[in-house]
C-alpha cells in the first residue's frame, strides 16, 4: 500500500506545500509521495498507476476540491480519498463540522452525484455553492486585489464597502422546478449544495449535501435598502439571516435558474466567472 498526498502549491496564498506537509502528523510514520496537482497532466493516467489499496490525501482549499471533482468527473475512483484543508476559506471542511487541526476525513461519499451549474456556455460540477450577487462581486474584487499583490483578502470588508458604496442590487427572475418568481433589489441569490460558502457564511443553514431528496437550496436576499441590508448581513455568519423573513427567503428544488437584469460576477466554489446574466444549477 502506498500513500499519495496531492497538494495545491498555490492554495493558502502560496503556502500549500508547507501546509500539506503538516499532514504527516496524522500518517503514523508512513512516508507519503507528495504530488502538486497543478503538475498532474491527467488523472486517468495517474489513477491507472495506483493499486486498489493505495490511499490518496487531497490537500488544498475549496477551489482545489472543485478542480479535482471536475478533472475526475466520470471516473470511478476505487481508492479511499481523504481531505486535509490547507486553503483560506475551507467551507467544505466547515460544513462537515470540522475545525482547524482536525484529522483528515475520507470524502468519497461526498464526491458522488454532485450538482452541475451551466453559465456562459460552460458546464461544471460544484461542491459547495454558486454565489451570485454581492458574493460574486466580492470574489471579483478579491481577485483584483490578489493580482495587485495583496496576500490577505478581507472579504467581509469588501462586502461591507460594496454594500455601502459600490455594489448595486439587481432585479431577478427565478425559476425553481418550473415555479417562477420575480424579485426587486436582489443582493444575494446563491444556489447551495452545502450550508457554507464565502469563507464562513452559513447561507442555507437547513441544506443537507447528502440528503436523500438531493435538493439544492436557493437563498434570496432582496427588497431591503443599504442600511437594513448592512444591519442584517453579519448574521449570515451564524445562519441567523433567515430569521428576517420579509427580506430573506430560501427555496429548494432540483433545478434552479436565476436571471439578473444586468451582468454581474458569479463564483463557483470560490472561482470567479465575470459578466453573468443567468445561471442554472441542477442535480
Q: What is the pLDDT of residues 134-188, one digit of tens each?
A: 999 999 999 999 888 887 788 888 988 999 899 999 999 999 999 999 999 999 9
Question: For 5, which DSSP code?
Answer: E
pLDDT surpassing 90 at residue 16: no
Question: Domain 3-111, CATH 3.20.20.370 — does that match?
Answer: no
- Domain ranges across the chain: 3-111, 116-282
pTM for this entry: 0.93
- Largest distance between two CA atoms of the chain: 59
CA distance linking residue 264 with residue 251, whole number of Å: 22
Task: Look at domain 116-282 and name its CATH class.
Answer: mainly beta
pLDDT for the residue 23: 95
pLDDT surpassing 80 at residue 64: yes
Q: What is the mean pLDDT of residues 110-138?
A: 96
CA distance linking residue 34 with residue 5, whole number of Å: 5
Taking only the tens place, the pLDDT of each residue in 185-234 is 999 999 999 999 988 899 999 999 999 999 999 999 999 999 999 999 99
The model's confidence at residue 12, banded by pLDDT at 50, 70 and 90, is low
CA distance linking residue 228 with residue 233, whole number of Å: 8
Q: Mean pLDDT over all residues of the chain? A: 93
Which sign does the torsion angle of CA 136, 140, 145, 151 carry?
Answer: positive
pLDDT for the residue 1: 84
List Cα–Cα distances, 193 to 35, 87, 95, 135, 210, in angstroms: 29, 19, 10, 16, 9
Q: Which residue has the higher pLDDT, 282 or 199?
A: 282
Taking only the tens place, the pLDDT of each residue in 195-207 is 999 888 999 999 9
DSSP H/E element including 14 = helix 11-14
CA distance linking residue 34 with residue 17, whole number of Å: 9
With 0-12 / 13-18 / 19 or more C-beta atoms within 10 angstroms meaning exposed / middle / buried, residue 113 is exposed
pLDDT surpassing 80 at residue 13: no
pLDDT for the residue 88: 77
Amino acid at each position: 500500500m502506498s500513500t499519495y498526498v496531492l497538494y495545491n502549491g498555490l492554495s493558502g496564498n502560496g503556502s500549500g506545500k508547507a501546509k500539506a506537509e503538516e499532514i504527516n502528523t496524522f500518517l503514523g510514520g508512513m512516508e507519503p509521495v507528495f504530488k502538486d496537482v497543478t503538475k498532474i497532466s491527467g488523472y486517468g493516467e495517474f489513477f491507472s498507476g495506483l493499486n486498489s489499496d493505495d490511499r490518496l490525501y487531497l490537500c488544498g482549499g475549496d477551489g482545489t476540491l472543485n478542480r479535482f471533482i471536475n478533472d475526475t468527473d466520470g471516473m470511478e475512483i476505487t481508492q479511499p480519498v481523504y481531505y486535509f484543508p490547507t486553503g483560506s476559506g475551507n467551507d467544505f471542511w466547515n460544513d462537515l463540522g470540522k475545525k482547524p487541526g482536525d484529522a483528515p476525513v475520507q470524502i468519497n461519499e461526498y464526491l458522488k452525484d454532485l450538482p452541475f451549474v451551466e453559465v456562459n456556455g460552460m458546464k461544471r460540477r460544484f461542491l459547495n455553492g454558486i454565489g451570485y450577487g454581492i458574493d460574486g462581486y466580492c470574489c471579483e474584487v478579491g481577485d483584483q486585489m490578489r493580482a495587485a499583490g495583496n496576500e490577505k483578502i478581507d472579504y467581509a470588508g469588501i462586502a461591507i464597502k460594496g454594500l455601502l458604496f459600490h455594489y448595486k442590487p439587481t432585479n431577478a427572475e427565478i425559476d425553481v422546478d418550473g415555479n417562477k418568481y420575480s424579485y426587486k433589489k436582489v443582493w444575494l441569490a446563491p444556489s447551495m449544495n452545502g450550508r457554507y460558502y464565502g469563507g464562513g457564511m452559513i447561507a442555507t443553514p437547513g441544506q443537507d449535501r447528502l440528503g436523500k431528496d438531493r435538493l439544492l437550496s436557493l437563498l434570496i436576499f432582496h427588497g431591503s435598502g443599504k442600511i437594513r441590508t448592512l444591519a442584517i448581513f453579519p448574521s449570515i455568519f451564524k445562519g441567523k439571516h433567515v430569521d428576517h423573513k420579509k427580506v430573506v427567503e430560501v427555496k429548494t428544488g432540483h433545478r434552479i435558474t436565476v436571471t439578473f437584469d444586468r451582468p454581474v460576477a458569479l463564483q463557483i466554489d470560490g472561482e470567479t466567472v465575470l459578466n453573468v446574466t443567468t445561471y442554472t444549477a441542477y442535480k
